[in-house]
Structure 1
Amino acid sequence: MRLFLAVRPPRHVLDHLSLALDGVAASLPTAGGPGPIRWSAPENRHVTVAFYGELSDGASDDLAVALEEEMDEVAPVALDLRGAGVFSHRTLWVGVGGDLEGMHGLIAAARRSGESAGAAPEVRVRSRPHLTVGRVSRGAGDRGRSGRRGHLSRGAPEPGPGAAESLVAAMSLYRGPSWTVDQVELMSSQPGAGRHGGPLYTPLRAVVCGRGAVP
């Protein structure tokens, strides 16, 4: 199984974010097409703590046990979603604020769990915790095209390469409601098996934080 560890914000936090993104999306030119950004499915939105890659069933069981032990000692953390950014001019994300020291404690515990189970997690981009909200569609600059011959529609606006930057600018001051992270979720990922050809994420186990932590 292809596994990762995630923090999934509660419904009210995701709803608040969706309202903000809907407002931004309405301001982006679509040229009569689906728009320059392919938004992630709301049910898939999460903050990745660690990505473990492909693991056997036995290694997955060992990882789950290790996570239970490590997360017992990690106190719950208060987080919020704020600001926005883009990776490689294509992947759009909303940042994470709040108790970032505590968040990095979660990341460190996730890494130790993976190492003890024989799965070294990928954490190089986790130095900046974030939640991916969408990706700039390939060929977004061609959204103004119509017909089989691909001629430009006269007078139709092209989104161009600035769609990501426009969203980042619009969301730069965004700040969502705070919530307490008192559990993380071990999840599997099946690329292409989800809605509209996106990934299918399946929760496997919720791991409670802080049961053994000193208040």
Structure 2
Amino acid sequence: MRLFVALDLPWSVRERLADLAGSLAGARWVPAENYHITLRFIGETPNHVAEEIDLALAAVKARGFNVEIAGFGTFERQGRPTTLWARVAPNPALDHLQGKVDTALRRAGLDAERRRFCPHITLARVDHVAPAALASWVAAHNLMRSAPVEVQHFTLFSSALGKEQSVYTPEVDYALA
């Protein structure tokens, strides 16, 4: 089973972001139902380890908070843009929750995350988009801001590869105080 921990998003936010899909030639847009904010990617996991992960995540204690979407950015590989994403505004409560999730997963036997946490929502793969067109798109949309989104839980998702896109299934929700 392929797993990750994330914050689910309300449909109002998903729809607003999905309205941008198709507005950048050559981009492969992620379907709105797959929009989320990853707290920690876990990967392929045997069932007995998944049970340990569930127990560890159930012990995480943190308060609810709000997040906001604030602009867009890209990830690059070998100097070339690969991914277009919506930026999550800096948020100490989100960083705190992510740290608690990472600590819980390490206690469950997983290795520590090597990459620095960069909260975002993946919108599109942009391997085949001209860099100048991508830069223009980001500049044109970068002032977009969302209303605060209330976060009252985090979720353990499974991911199955589909024909066109991965299919994400919420397995367990963990309430925040």
In structure 1, the residue matched to 2:6 is 6
**CA deviation after TM superposition for structure 1 residue 16, in Å:** 2.2
Q: CA–CA distance in 2 between the matches of 1:42 and 1:48? A: 15
Q: CA–CA distance in 1 between the matches of 2:64 and 2:38? A: 16
> Could you tell me whether the CA contact under 8 Å between 2:18 and 2:31 is conserved in 1?
no
State the percentage of identical aligned residues. 31
In structure 2, the residue matched to 1:65 is 55
In structure 1, the residue matched to 2:131 is 161
Residue 3 of structure 1: SS of its match in structure 2?
strand
Which 5+ residue runs of structure 2 have no aligned equivalent?
A: none
Superposition pairs for residues 1-215 of structure 1, below 5 Å?
1-19=1-19, 21-22=20-21, 25-26=22-23, 28=24, 35-70=25-60, 73-88=61-76, 89-97=81-89, 100-120=91-111, 122=113, 124-126=115-117, 128-138=118-128, 140=129, 160-191=130-161, 193=162, 197-210=164-177
Count of aligned positions = 173
- 1:21-73 CA deviation, whole Å, 9 max, x = no partner? 15xx44x4xxxxxx311110100011000011221111111111111111xx2
Q: CA–CA distance in 2 between the matches of 1:45 and 1:164? A: 20
The TM-score, its normalising length taken from structure 1, stands at 0.75
- 1:118-142 CA deviation, whole Å, 9 max, x = no partner? 122536142x21001001143x5xx
Residue 65 of structure 1: SS of its match in structure 2?
helix
Note the aligned Cα RMSD (angstroms): 1.7
- 1:67-90 CA deviation, whole Å, 9 max, x = no partner? 1111xx200111111110011112
> Could you tell me whether the CA contact under 8 Å between 1:52 and 1:121 is conserved in 2?
no
Aligned partner letter, 2:100? A
- 1:135-162 CA deviation, whole Å, 9 max, x = no partner? 1143x5xxxxxxxxxxxxxxxxxxx332
> Could you tell me whether the CA contact under 8 Å between 1:82 and 1:97 is conserved in 2?
yes
Q: Give the structure with higher Rg (CA).
A: 1
Structure richer in helix, relative to its length: 1
Q: CA–CA distance in 2 between the matches of 1:46 and 1:95? A: 12
Which 5+ residue runs of structure 1 have no aligned equivalent?
A: 29-34, 141-159, 211-215
* Runs of 4+ residues over 4 Å off in structure 1: none
Q: CA–CA distance in 1 between the matches of 2:136 and 2:116? A: 23
Structure richer in strand, relative to its length: 2
Q: CA–CA distance in 2 between the matches of 1:116 and 1:97? A: 29
